[in-house]
Chains A and B, each alone.
Chain A
Amino acid sequence: GDSVTQMEGPVTLSEEAFLTINCTYTATGYPSLFWYVQYPGEGLQLLLKATKADDKGSNKGFEATYRKETTSFHLEKGSVQVSDSAVYFCAQGAGSYQLTFGKGTKLSVIP
């Protein structure tokens, strides 16, 4: 069935470091891909999305490119800030109206 696999955390980085969180998916069709972010004590909120192959989603300095050939949607940011500390979820939507989420990756950024 459809699934999403993302790198296990937690990830701890120093401020201004480069961030990559890996995400791969399996799907029978051509899903839309999403990154959601969950700040402490809050619900998930959409960070960025891509709806077709080679699309790049971007927001708040974060980017992810839909790679059909490698079935991946890795999240990157060139210079993280303490305020980026959160849990990041990769998700896909294919063939139905629900989303399938990865297990989440906790990011901690230290000053």
Chain B
Amino acid sequence: DAGVIQSPRHEVTEMGQEVTLRCKPISGHDYLFWYRQTMMRGLELLIYFNNNVPIDDSGMPEDRFSAKMPNASFSTLKIQPSEPRDSAVYFCASREDSTNTGELFFGEGSRLTVL
């Protein structure tokens, strides 16, 4: 399997612009997670989906952030408008197991820089 695929790997944009990050989970995985990683706050869970349905979005920082999963093989995380404090590495992860003993598989991340 190709693993979790994220794009773009790097994005540099200006404040106020819209940013869209994309994720293709591993085929057959029912759960998809979006995390944000910064030096100050570490790894934060933003939102997760089960069978394409958002289950918990309490980690989404504010209304500027939105996430969708239109089908089992694709998800997007959108920031509109972007701000410099959104600069971070955004990870997508997926898993197939419905219990907490299952392994999370991470993509390589999308590094976002907002100027």
Segment at the interface with A among B12-20, B78-86, B95-103: B95-103
Please pick, from B48, B50, B56, B104, the residue contacting A46 in the complex, using a CB distance under 8 A: B104
Provide the bound-state CA to CA distance between A41 and B42, in Å. Answer: 15
Closest 10 CB pairs of A and B: A93-B100, A43-B106, A103-B42, A32-B100, A101-B43, A44-B106, A46-B103, A51-B101, A32-B101, A43-B108
In B57-115, the 8 Å CB interface with A consists of: 91, 93, 95, 98-101, 103-109
Interface residues on B, range: 20 to 34
Provide the bound-state CA to CA distance between A99 and B45, in Å. Answer: 9
Please pick, from A31, A97, A103, A104, the residue contacting B50 in the complex, using a CB distance under 8 A: A97
**B106 engages A98 (CB within 8 Å):** no
Mark each residue of chain A from 30 to 70: 1 if its CB lies under 8 Å from any CB of chain B, else 0. 01100010000111111001010000000000000000000
Task: Name the prevailing secondary structure of the A interface residues.
Answer: loop
Chain B residue at smallest Cβ distance from A50:
B101
Which of the listed residues A44, A96, A98 has the most CB atoms from chain B within 10 Å of its own CB? A98
Query: Chain B residues in contact with chain A, CB under 8 A?
Result: 4, 31, 33, 42-43, 45, 48, 50, 55-56, 91, 93, 95, 98-101, 103-109
28 pairs, CB–CB < 8 Å, chain A vs chain B:
A31-B100, A32-B99, A36-B104, A41-B108, A42-B109, A43-B4, A43-B93, A43-B106, A43-B108, A44-B91, A44-B93, A45-B105, A45-B106, A46-B103, A46-B104, A49-B101, A51-B101, A94-B100, A97-B31, A97-B48, A97-B50, A97-B100, A98-B56, A99-B100, A101-B42, A101-B43, A102-B42, A104-B42
Q: Is A89 an interface residue (CB 8 A)?
A: yes
Known: A89-B43, A103-B42, A104-B42. A42 touches B108 (CB 8 A): yes
Provide the bound-state CA to CA distance between A46 and B106, in Å. Answer: 9
Task: Name the prevailing secondary structure of the B interface residues.
Answer: strand
Chain A residue at smallest Cβ distance from B98:
A97
- How far, in Å, is A101 (CB) from chain B's closest CB? 5
Provide the bound-state CA to CA distance between A41 and B107, in Å. Answer: 11
Provide the bound-state CA to CA distance between A40 and B101, in Å. Answer: 26
